[in-house]
Structure 1
Amino acid sequence: MELNTIQPADGSKKARRRVGRGIGSGLGKTAGRGHKGQKSRAGGYHKVGFEGGQMPLQRRLPKRGFKSQNLKFNGEVTLGQLEKLGLAEVDLLALKQAKLVAQIVKTVKVIKSGELKKAVKLTGIGATAGAKSAIEAAGGSLN
């Protein structure tokens, strides 16, 4: 094998379509573009979503909703989960190690769901009004 004899495999290279080269080629005259209209002309095309001047679908439909990207940094823990955890002092790191909240979470709030019988001291963790009263009733505290 020598450099001047190397060729691509048969059928691996397809000749590009040569348009506008006469009737016999099958792609003469209009060169596969059909007759008249915007798409037949050089440089004539439309932007994405254009419907020929009709009000486009994305403008006909109402704007609706919004979801903040900051929500992914918030986490929730229930009273039942705190009971199961069984720690006397709970902070964000302890919740992450127990896999009750995701690693990306920065702020955690305790919600009133389930029961808490043990006294738990929370540091750096928020709580709803109902959860706060339940924690304090069990002898725990929030910092």
Structure 2
Amino acid sequence: MNLSLLQPALGSVKDRKRIGRGTGSGRGGTSTRGHKGAKSRSGYSSKIGFEGGQMPLQRRVPKFGFKNFNRVEYSPINIDVISSLANSLQVNVVDLEFFKAHGLISKNDKVKVLGRGEINNPIEIHAHAFSKSASELIEKAGGKIVLI
């Protein structure tokens, strides 16, 4: 074996197309671009959504709806998740730092506690919002709700 003897496998390397080198090459004349039209010209780049002059889709379809910029988005966390974590870690107070530390929310999320599942031991839960069922379950178990 010698580095000077290395070469690619047969058929794996192809010659590049040499375009626009005279009619004898088979790729002269129009240089594989066809006849006339915008695509045959140099410097052509199609605009996004351009459909050859036909009314583009984004202008054919009507506008509808709106985004309410005052909407408050909450990250939902169910009671069964909170109670299982609190039981396994022997914790009585669950706040935003607890949620962040265990990957339930990210940095600037607002939390809403929802009522799926059951809670057995009294836990103090800090959150931005609570559903009716969640607050009933927490208070029934002897826990405490703290709105942030």
Same-fold status (TM-score > 0.5): yes
Query: Could you tell me how far apart the structure 1 residues matched to 2:128 and 2:45 are?
Result: 57
* Count of residues paired in the alignment: 129
1:114 alignment partner, one of 106, 117, 120: 117
Report deviation, 1:44: 4.7
Report deviation, 1:62: 5.0
TM value normalised by structure 1? 0.64
TM value normalised by structure 2? 0.62
- Unpaired runs of 5+ residues, structure 1, are 1-8
Residue in 2 that maps onto 1:4: none
Is the Cα–Cα contact under 8 Å of residues 75 and 105 in structure 1 kept in the other structure? Answer: no
Report deviation, 1:111: 0.6
Q: CA-to-partner distance for each residue in 1:9-42, whole Å, 9 max, x for gaps?
A: 78969466240x4321222332322222222234
Report deviation, 1:101: 0.9
Q: Flag the 1:83–1:25 CA change in 2: closer, same or farther, 3 A.
A: closer
Residue in 1 that maps onto 2:18: 17
Query: Could you tell me how far apart the structure 2 residues matched to 1:41 and 1:103 are?
Result: 51
Residue in 1 that maps onto 2:99: 95
Give the percent of matched residue pairs that are identical in Structure 1 and Structure 2: 38
Is the Cα–Cα contact under 8 Å of residues 92 and 125 in structure 1 kept in the other structure? Answer: no
CA RMSD after TM alignment? 3.5
